[in-house]
Structure 1
Amino acid sequence: MRIDRFFTVHCVSPIRKMLPQRGGLQIPILMYHSISDYPDNHLHPYYQTVTTPKCFEQQMHFLSRSGYQVLTLSEAVKLLLSEASLSNSAIQKNSPSHKSFDCQRPMAVITFDDGLRDFYTNAFPILDKFGFKATVFVVSGLIDKTFLTGHDCLRSQEIKELASKGIEFGSHTVNHPQLKELSRNEIIYELGKSKQMIESITECSAPLFSYPYRFPEDASIFTKTLSMLLIDQGYSAGVTTIIGLANTKNNPLFLKRLPINNCDDSQFFRAKLEGNYDWLHTVQLTYKKFRAIFSVQKRSVVNKAL
């Protein structure tokens, strides 16, 4: 039994239906990787990153029939920033950034990490069928090459074609490293060079960033430095692996997302969209903090013993 699904669907969802609705704009940003007929079933469901085209189409159909407005990440960020800066509801309603969207209808953002070629062959035709947009984060150094997992990456010409059809592209670094382990100059290279390469292909500005691997939200010094470097390199928004709905309180450079894969049936998918999966972030963050405290205490004991 998958504990996170059971708790989300059978415990959190029924309880939250009885509670008052949370105020403020909240937008689910869906995180996909590969859309392929070869799912990674050997992994635990939580860590799987492959969604079959059949399952992906079912999920897109759910969004369509449920009346979701699918935004690009740039559009969602503008709405979140506008909502955060305007407190007068009458002004919000007439704000230019709100005019294109019906704020009474649910919204969602669809993102893809890694820039795999199966986005072009499998995902885009399905998105196009429903008239949906998406934001794709590419590893710029692997364009026209093969990803770390052995999957083909997008070709330059395919990126150019997709950009002309409304697909938004952002950076996922040059080489997909764990940035926390790099020097300041190495991080600057990964941020700056990737942005430059993407812009040269799409001939569009690329101010969006997706952090590779697990986001180290518990490392406050590092995240503050990364935030400054992102701004210095011309980025205005970004996404992470932190679980939850994106809201006006998030740092726009480190927005929360919802991991989606082949194991998300309609009940679980709906629960995630409605914010009923957000509880897992609290559990994960608490665990990280306790682990950090334990590590400090352990080092202290070892140092005293030496």
Structure 2
Amino acid sequence: MVVTKGVPVLMYHSVRERPPRETAGLAVSPGAFADQMALLHERGFTPVPFSALRADVPKPIVITFDDGYADFHSEALPVLERFGFTATVFVTTGWLADAGREAAGRPLDAMLTWGQVREAAAHGIEIGGHSHGHPQLDQLRDRALTDELVRSRGLLEDRLGAPATTMAYPFGYSSARVRRAVRDAGYESACAVANRLAPGGDPLAVPRLTVRASTSLAAFGRVADGTRLSQIYFRDRALTRGYAVVRRTRYGLRRVSGRD
């Protein structure tokens, strides 16, 4: 995958009117989501799948969803279809509603089923990985890290009957070690958060732009246009830089102490 500089990659989570407390900050109401998609349509944006991030279409933009919440199927998908838009859903395989014996981690809200994931794929939605149990990948030892990546990709390919070549890092956390493991696991592209426009370059470190409950329609328009991002995301960027140092230190101390 060749990452084209300057293409906005939007990051959504839940599209729900009354989300639980755990997801409330990153949940967008169905009405707000419909208004945002209408704005993209009116301004002539062309949504493309994350794996096809490119600038050879009019005003390209990427719409992504993390985790795999059930409201993607009930709320977001009908709106996307209304406008003829595609999107990419990064699925946490162990969180799915019918994961059964493969269940892992703790879902924060009602999740998609495998049948709904297949239905979304049949409607032109790209399905990517988001790990299996949604851990902080950069804090895992090598064996556990590999298991999270390989297990998730294997389940997606087995259940969907199609290659799974793209993923998103849970919490947006990665490192050079994690990115090497992602490449070794067979992924060709991956995205974090960072709240910047895609700069081109490393396809395993593509930044995205957060859309949250507090994002007004005016601010959303500026995000899509790539304007005034330093003002909109000033606090997010500062926190990202600070916590990156904390995570590197934490992992280093765990390695020294020999703790898993």
Superposed pair shares fold, TM > 0.5: yes
Which stretches of structure 1, 4 residues or longer, exceed 3 Å deviation after superposition?
A: 145-150, 281-289
Contact 1:192 1:233 in 2 (8 A): yes
> How far did residue 63 of structure 1 move?
0.2
**Structure 2 counterpart of 1:5:** none
Counterpart of 2:96 (choices 143, 146, 149) is: 143
**Structure 2 counterpart of 1:49:** 26
Q: Can you give the 5+ residue segments of structure 2 that lack an aligned partner in the other structure?
A: 100-104, 254-260
**Structure 2 counterpart of 1:162:** 120
Distance in 1 (CA, whole Å) between partners of 2:206 and 2:183 is: 15
**Structure 2 counterpart of 1:171:** 129
**Structure 2 counterpart of 1:126:** 79
Aligned positions of 1:97-112 closer than 5 A: 98=56, 101=57, 105-112=58-65
Distance in 1 (CA, whole Å) between partners of 2:26 and 2:239 is: 19
The alignment's TM-score, normalised by the length of structure 1, stands at 0.71
**Structure 2 counterpart of 1:35:** 15
Counterpart of 2:68 (choices 115, 125, 130) is: 115
Contact 1:67 1:106 in 2 (8 A): yes
- Give deviations 1:201-250, integer Å, cap 9, x for gaps: 2111111111001425xxxxxx221121111110000111211111214x
Contact 1:215 1:242 in 2 (8 A): no
Instruction: Write the letter of the residue equivalent to 1:73.
Output: F
> How far did residue 193 of structure 1 move?
0.6
Contact 1:145 1:152 in 2 (8 A): no
Distance in 1 (CA, whole Å) between partners of 2:141 and 2:27 is: 32
Distance in 2 (CA, whole Å) between partners of 1:148 and 1:285 is: 24
Counterpart of 1:241 (choices 193, 208, 231) is: 193
**Structure 1 counterpart of 2:203:** 252
> How far did residue 130 of structure 1 move?
0.5
- Give deviations 1:60-101, integer Å, cap 9, x for gaps: 00000000011110111xx27xxxxxxxxxxxxxxxxx3xx2
Instruction: Write the letter of the residue equivalent to 2:64.
Output: T
Contact 1:39 1:262 in 2 (8 A): no
* 1:263 correspondence with 2:243: no
Identity over aligned pairs, percent = 28
Name the larger-Rg structure. Answer: 1
Instruction: Write the letter of the residue equivalent to 1:256.
Output: P
* 1:197 correspondence with 2:155: yes
Q: Can you give the 5+ residue segments of structure 1 that lack an aligned partner in the other structure?
A: 1-23, 81-97, 217-222, 300-306
SS in 2 for 1:170: strand
Counterpart of 1:215 (choices 173, 189, 192) is: 173
Distance in 2 (CA, whole Å) between partners of 1:288 and 1:179 is: 14
Distance in 1 (CA, whole Å) between partners of 2:14 and 2:243 is: 28
Across the aligned residues of Structure 1 and Structure 2, the Cα RMSD in angstroms comes to 2.6
